Structure 1
């Protein structure tokens, strides 16, 4: 522990907003619930550091989710959340459905995209075995409205404090969540979506600008956040998209948000479950190295550019709706390797703030530095370069 010149421990910085009271946290910093990246360690670490850790539960079965929540509770007694997606209606079923069965068909669009992706991979040097059906072998991607219900049963059983709907509206579960004392968050990219979320009783609306990594919209963070704040006041608003440090946090607060939803800043941490290649690409990237594409998931998503994605778009390769595109495309990853230099094709979701992420740091340090920089900007940075007064300027006498 650090200290002052007299050896006394340094005071812990204070930075509180209404979000802290609403969620029972110390700092207005929320971990974006990134599927397959925001796991147990990262979720617990962010909560322990004073923010709100949010577990990315999308790829998890109910049993896996149950185990993950139990592990988080062993690591922290502080509030945390779980992020998943609202039912998409792709398959209507009250029971979990294995969507891999959709790609087992040998005719139609599904077969064509499966075969195209395999062929493209081979042409790019990826050793995709002949005779396999991409997507059919993909592990751990079962999805249907029934899966959402099963996940929620686990979340309710564990009395998880916060549920975040990273994609889709949480309207289907908000009444029950509130009955159980939970807070519900929803991600939006327009004021129209924000009004809808507020009208159904969402506690926190996340206004995510196009700068964000992963699935994203068309409107930038700077104009989006204040418009959402004005549209749904007094509902709490988090700002998201391009925010990776304390300066971004202060900017978000000045726009009327009561906190931030951050993903990219936490990808470059030891606790993140990201592949080492994801972290390597992130640390090497600049603000010009990201792009928005549908090639990975079937929905617009911001990622770090790579030759495979660029070739896919150059050839105008087929795109199917989310999440079927994910099933076929993501299976290429298991055939990439460092030995044949194909790891460079690894898909890395990241926001335009990636150029500010320079090193691998523990999640605790990310939270701490964000808070300290924000306080420094508020206490010293702005006062040193901005003058203002509450008094009206004296009128000049006319000659």
Structure 2
């Protein structure tokens, strides 16, 4: 028997429940994505940090863990260099910025990382290579976490793929919908990671009205069945949920296996999430150069000091701070542990399996349907 939560978008994507894992870089690897898909939602891998060869491998791993539909999320920001190597881009970073980071390294006793970061910088060429992999692999769903994916929509549709764009306001929702995407994520400012300025409750119905019949997906502050029901009542046909899945055993598991994090760091992140309240996340640009909601810690506080220089645009800010943050992680400096998270972090009371998060969300929402009736979107 089909769930009373099932929407037209569920049928379009081939999923049982209108629950989509947000493609969180680092946290949402193949293991977490596959677990969400197996539970009846849509697991989405956050793949911006993967080289094309690594991306092939990550997609293969998802397919080895589930035969259910899944997605891959990439960033496609337009305001970024077309090309360039790491050395050339680093020449654009001022002495003032390097001096400030050096001061922070001294203040927090951050050592140099064990090895230099051997990663290509984020450029348009790099993103296009990643998209070529997505198309070659015929990933069921592609999500653009930043930017308009319109340029690749015809090729994706020709491969039988679905394309989703993430936006933070109605103007961009109209623009992305006009590019013939299959659905638009209306992401409120409560969301963790890259986010905008408008609250979810105000944004979702405005986007749903503006882009119909294109499907709307709600994101930002949605943590349980109550949030799912609210989103459907606002006109969304699914939710894009990240922070709730940060509090799962599968979060960051693949990153640990790849040596990008470690068991100690994951435990500290979990402890901070379980202890968090709604005011423990803030928005800033000190990690990526784009507005991002993250756990507040000593690193983010330092960048809010009067003497801190202005943050740099993407990808320069990431190049500036990347090695210092890696050094802090390797040295297990607890006051600098953080990461993207949304306002809903205060609702995480324990670390659970991802399957349990989906099942609890569904059972809560279905109980609300019995009490109040089906929401608009379901």
TM over 0.5: yes
1:328 maps to which residue? Answer: 320
Confirm or deny that 1:300 pairs with 2:291: yes
Shift of 1:334: 2.3
Contact 2:274 2:349 in 1 (8 A): yes
CA change 1:322–1:47 in 2 (3 A) is same
Which of the residues 51, 55, 60 maps onto 1:61? 51
320-329 or 161-170, larger mean C-alpha shift: 320-329
Distance across 1 between alignment mates of 2:222 and 2:329: 32
In the aligned structure 1, how far is the partner of 2:239 from the partner of 2:326?
A: 34
Is the contact between residue 294 and residue 342 of structure 2 (CA under 8 Å) also seen in structure 1?
Answer: yes
Aligned match of 1:346: 337
The count of aligned residue pairs is 360
Determine the C-alpha separation between the residues in 2 that align with 1:316 and 1:86. 32
Residue pair 2:2, 2:16 contacting (<8 A) in 1 also: no
Distance 2:136 2:192 in 1: 31
Q: Is the 8 A contact 1:283 1:354 kept in 2?
A: yes
Partner of 1:182: 161
1:263-278 alignment to 2 at 5 Å? 263-273=242-252, 275-276=265-266, 277-278=268-269
2:105 equivalent to 1:115? no
Equivalent pair of 1:92/1:144 in contact (CA under 8 Å): yes
Q: Which structure 2 residue ranges, 5 or more long, are not aligned?
A: 254-264, 374-378
Task: Choose the corresponding residue for 2:208, options 229, 239, 247.
Answer: 229
Query: 1:73-112 maps to which residues of 2 (within 5 A)?
Result: 73-86=63-76, 88=78, 90-93=80-83, 97-99=84-86, 101-103=88-90, 105=91, 109-112=93-96
Q: Which residue of 2 aligns with 1:361?
A: 352
Provide Cα deviations, 1:60-88, integer angstroms capped at 9, x if missing partner. Answer: 00000001111111111110011001153
**Alpha-carbon separation, structure 1, partners of 2:307 and 2:204:** 34
- Is 1:291 aligned with 2:282? yes
Corresponding residue of 1:16: 6
Q: 1:337 to 1:321 in 2, by over 3 A?
A: closer
- Residue 228 of structure 1 and its aligned partner are, at CA, apart by 0.4
Give RMSD over aligned pairs.
Answer: 2.1
Q: CA deviation at 1:314?
A: 1.2
> Aligned partners of 2:250 and 2:218: how far apart in 1?
23
- Alpha-carbon distance, 1:18 to partner: 1.1
**Mapped partners of 2:128, 2:93: distance in 1:** 29
**Aligned with residue 197 of structure 1, among 171, 176, 183:** 176
**CA radius of gyration, larger in:** 1
Q: TM-score, normalised by structure 2?
A: 0.90
**Counterparts of 2:95 and 2:54 in 1: how far apart (Å)?**
30
Structure 1 unaligned regions, length at least 5:
1-10, 384-399
- Report which structure shows greater RCO (CA 8 Å, sep ≥6): 2
**Residues 116-144 of structure 1: CA deviation (Å, up to 9, x unaligned):** 11211211333358xx9xxx933434322
- Once residues 151 and 127 of structure 1 are traced to their aligned partners in structure 2, the CA distance between those partners, rounded to angstroms, is 32
Whole-angstrom distance in 2 between the partners of 1:14 and 1:102: 52
